[in-house]
Amino acid sequence: MKKQLEFFFDFMSPFAYLAETQLSALADRFGLEIRYVPLDLPVAKLAAGNNGPSNRQVPAKLRYLTADMQRWAKRYNLPPLVFPSNFASERANRGLFFAIDKGQQRDYVHQMFQAVWGRGEDMTDEAVLRRVAEGLGWSGDEFLAYTVGEDSARRFAEANKETHDRGVFGVPTMFVDGEMWWGNDRLQFVEEYLASQSS
Amino acid sequence: MKKQLEFFFDFMSPFAYLAETQLSALADRFGLEIRYVPLDLPVAKLAAGNNGPSNRQVPAKLRYLTADMQRWAKRYNLPPLVFPSNFASERANRGLFFAIDKGQQRDYVHQMFQAVWGRGEDMTDEAVLRRVAEGLGWSGDEFLAYTVGEDSARRFAEANKETHDRGVFGVPTMFVDGEMWWGNDRLQFVEEYLASQSS
């Protein structure tokens, strides 16, 4: 069985988007399977005991983080990120379990992040969700129903519980061999860890 | 006049300590003068609109950040950081203005950070403050009096105002040419910026 690189994320996060653009190449280079775990970031913060405002509610921090994410985009040779009009990511997050059952989780996460932060699309808009689903060869109706159904609700609740139990308080968070790293800016640490293990 | 590298910090911050260990070499390499600006971090967060808990009050985050800071110590070839028993940094921060008047700010910041995070000493203990001052050739009594006097109170208040006015919401924060970077983990970005300007 392949070693796992676990990726805890929420589609609302631009830094999770940035990390995802690098993740597949990293996993392939070290022969890892990526396990994607979607989570509700505001819930994860509260569950960790952080009842403070979101970064979007702290103007100076939002201004800086916006500059910072564009610096990273430049570093990764990506176009500038486009802020979506909406940060309500629950249906997009829950849709991951549909993708897992189809064995297409990697493509789903990539395509959804491209829609949200690559193009700034509104992930609460059913037309957006449908387009991603149909682009992956699925029935749009089936996918839309799944994202509000019982199965995705149960699995998303389990993922949020696992998030809390494993001490995840922010995204993106990566695990390899039980080691944890938080932040797009720690991908280099993950890479160095993997290189040290494979040498 | 030399170009300035501005360093906004609070002695309570382990990540400011980490950045400081690298700062002098970086400044010297690019011929920069370091301008040190001490600030009251809890006040800066509140002033920025962040009324959430400190990292020390979020157990999962504290656990992770502790591991993260030790990873950075290893990367910088430093001994592991030692948590001080006390995070009340006001007198140590205000003492910086005494050092500035003596032209010894660089040594002061380094020696105080070494006491606090290098050896885990209690920066509210007058014996600790005195030892740092006397190690720099100053009168301990004069220094101790200064850290509770009017001059340092006024200058510290001005520094906290500047912190807010310039959009600083965390430490360490660095500025060069008006560009801002937050975090020990952005020193590499500062270095790349400086290299791009001097080539």
Tell how far CA A7 is from the center of its chain. 7
Rg (CA), chain B: 16
Q: Name the pTM for this structure.
A: 0.95
pLDDT of residue B113: 98
Is the minimum CB–CB distance between B25 and chain A shorter than 8 Å? no
Is the minimum CB–CB distance between A63 and chain B shorter than 8 Å? yes
Residue range A96-129, pLDDT digits in tens: 999 999 999 999 999 999 999 999 999 999 999 9
Collect all residues with Cβ–Cβ distance below 8 Å to B20 and sequence separation of at least 6. Answer: B7, B9, B109, B110, B113, B172
Collect all residues with Cβ–Cβ distance below 8 Å to B199 and sequence separation of at least 6. Answer: none
Q: Kindly report the CATH number assigned to the domain that includes residue B166.
A: 3.40.30.10
**Looking at CA atoms only, how far is residue A48 from chain B in angstroms?**
6
Q: For residue B188, what is the nearest residue in chain A, using CA coordinates?
A: A185
> In which band, very low, low, confident or very high, does the pLDDT at A199 lie, cut at 50, 70 and 90?
low
pLDDT of residue A152: 98
Residues from chain A contacting residue B182 (CB–CB below 8 Å): 64, 68
pLDDT of residue A196: 95
> In which band, very low, low, confident or very high, does the pLDDT at B1 lie, cut at 50, 70 and 90?
confident
* Average pLDDT of the segment spanning B93-97: 98
> In which band, very low, low, confident or very high, does the pLDDT at B47 lie, cut at 50, 70 and 90?
very high
**B13 catalytic, yes or no?**
yes
Is the minimum CB–CB distance between B52 and chain A shorter than 8 Å? yes
* Alpha carbons B30 and B118: distance in angstroms, whole number: 26
pLDDT of residue B90: 98
Q: For residue B75, what is the nearest residue in chain A, using CA coordinates?
A: A189
DSSP secondary structure letters along A84-140: -S----HHHHHHHHHHHHHT-HHHHHHHHHIIIIIS---TT-HHHHHHHHHHTT--H
| Number of domains chain A contains | 1
* Alpha carbons B110 and A110: distance in angstroms, whole number: 45
Residue range B142-167, pLDDT digits in tens: 999 999 999 999 999 999 999 999 99
Cis, peptide link before residue A38, omega less than 30° from 0: no
Residue range A160-175, pLDDT digits in tens: 999 999 999 999 999 9
* Average pLDDT of the segment spanning B79-104: 97
* Alpha carbons B26 and B185: distance in angstroms, whole number: 14
Residues from chain B contacting residue A48 (CB–CB below 8 Å): 58-61
Question: ∠ at Cα A72 (A156, A54), nearest 5°?
Answer: 45
In terms of residue numbers, what domain contains A84?
A: 4-198
Q: Which residue among B13, B89, B152, B198 is the active-site one? A: B13
Element (H, E) at A81: none
